[in-house]
Structure 1
Amino acid sequence: METIRFDVAAGVATITLDRPQQKNAINGAMTGELAEAVATVRDDDNIRALVITGAAGAFCAGGDIKAMLANRDDPAARQARMRFHHRWLEQLVHLDKPVIAAVDGAAFGAGFGLALAADLVIASTRAKFSMAFMKIGLVPDFGALYTLPRIVGLQRAKEIIYSARTVAADEAVSLGIALEAVEAEALPDRARAIATSLAAASPTAFMLSKRALNVSQLNDFRTMLDMELTSQSVAFATPEHGDAVDAFLDKRPPAFEWPARED
């Protein structure tokens, strides 16, 4: 692969956006490689979690504007490109495995949208987020019109999108965009620790929980109770549940444990 690095270790895959001279801006080659990597994570049962990060002190500066100019006068080509983005991005959002975005430096435009597609965002203290689209006369993409309002609320999402301002790491945490902020040198280990922890969880319980959470804001209470009933019936029958109960009764350490924060 030319624009990303894809590594797997101990059941955790890592996608590293790797166009450092362009602050990991997304071009056509990168979207193809991201689509391939996401499909690999989806289809490989030995991969239990995914970390997405960027190289050289940046997460992703957004879409590569120079690459965009190639289709400036071809609306059909632009729409075809976006439909391709949408196919793999939807796979990522609905991936039945934990997805952690480790954001260092800039997560602008499509890079911000890509981070929001993860289950959890861990930021460095120097991370910066911006829905920069308004500055170049464009509409938010990479799913941000769906994900951002669900995280920060409609009015705050409007303000962030309309103003195209930069959101620093501490504000991102306070708004719920990021789960926490750590020093840049601690970011890779912290993101991997969380991914490794979630990789040890029951894959069935995680899958069912994520699927329910992803539709919870689209359904009424009765529908979610029905989903809870069905999902719990499946989870009760898994070997992971049985093993966890046995470990508890035998006073053995659990297989799944959330990593303690290091102060």
Structure 2
Amino acid sequence: MNATRYSVEQGVAVLELNRPERRNALNEAMRDELRDTVTRLRSDRDVHALVLAGAGGAFCAGGDLKGISSAGLDNEGWRNRMADLHSWLKDLLLLDRPVIAAVDGPAYGAGFSLALAADFIVATPRARFCMSFMRVGAVPDLGAFYTLPRIVGPRRARELMLSTREIDAEEALALGIVSEIVPVAQLRDRALALAASFEGASPLAVSLIKRAVTASSTSDLSTMLDIEAVSQSLVFGGAYHHEAIARFLNKQPAMFRWPE
């Protein structure tokens, strides 16, 4: 059985972690498959959105501690492994299409970090999030030092990382981690509906928005205004914008609409 399952239907890619007997804990095989899938996805222009999900009522319980314990790597070996992981993680974070994480059950450790790499997190009431790394004397990885402080602020990020306390879906929603909470039976359909809505969106606008927001936290006002001006000049000169304006003026339905 593969550690992940990947499928594409009507332009929506679904990447499902598939080790339900281990609550989808990340092992070496899963990391390799994630890397290969993200690499393939970058060049597949028929895909307009990605859904990340987990099988069997769990998103991801974190790193596979048995595999970590038996790896037998020295410091250099671990650094090389992290560099390999970061190669595809960076591609995922900078992917020029929307990424939706559908979280049911635990998203612990690296599983929490993986969910944070998405643009939207849709969760069920039984979703649980935890920066559990300190429980085994480790530090957060899979990009959490980058993503979590940008969502909740540095002070709250330190608190969640140092305390290793679990937060439920409602608190995650209040903190801005989760975009919305839906019943368990509706999770997959809702995530797919959000992803499908981007079929009508401007790929250029999506890409420029994601890149600009990523740059904003380390850029000054002048830089961001320059990025804004260049980005707007690109979209205003494009065919999508002209068609969208024409549809608006003719009182036709918009090409992109967020699903109710």
TM-score, length-scaled by structure 2:
0.98
Q: Partner of 1:218: helix, strand, or coil?
A: coil
Distance 1:79 1:24 in 2: 23
3-state SS, counterpart of residue 15 of structure 2: strand
Equivalent position of 2:2 in the other structure:
2
For 1:167, the aligned partner's letter is I
> Match for residue 201 of structure 1?
201
Residue deviations 1:128-173, cap 9 Å, x none?
A: 0000001000000001011111100111111111110101000000
* Mapped partners of 2:199, 2:152: distance in 1: 27
| 2:145 corresponding residue in structure 1 | 145
Equivalent in the alignment of 1:127 = 127
- 2: distance between equivalents of 1:200 and 1:63? 37
TM-align CA RMSD: 1.0
TM-score (normalizing by structure 1)? 0.97
**Alpha-carbon deviations, 1:99-132, whole Å to 9, x = none?**
0011100000000000000111111110000000
Tell me if structure 2 keeps the 8 A contact 1:42–1:95: yes
CA contact (8 A) 1:53 1:101 kept: yes
Aligned to 1:136: 136
Q: Would you say the 8 A contact 1:94–1:211 is kept in 2?
A: yes
Aligned partner of 1:177 in structure 2 is 177
1:40 corresponds to which letter in structure 2? R
* Structure 1 residues 18-97: aligned runs within 5 Å: 18-97=18-97
- For 2:133 and 2:223, how far apart are their aligned partners in 1? 36
Counterpart residue type for residue 215 of structure 2: V
Cα deviation, residue 28, structure 1: 0.6
- What is the total number of aligned residue pairs between the two structures? 260
Q: Distance in 1 between the 2:245 and 2:151 partners?
A: 34
User: Could you tell me which amino acid in structure 1 is paired with residue 224 of structure 2?
Assistant: M
Contact residue 101 and residue 115 of structure 1 kept, 8 A: yes
* Contact kept in structure 2, 1:71 and 1:78, CA below 8 Å: no
Q: Which runs of 5+ in 1 are unaligned?
A: none
Q: Which runs of 4+ in 1 moved over 4 A?
A: none
SS in 2 for 1:8: strand
State the secondary structure of the residue aligned to 1:208: helix
1:73, 1:172 → 2: CA distance? 35
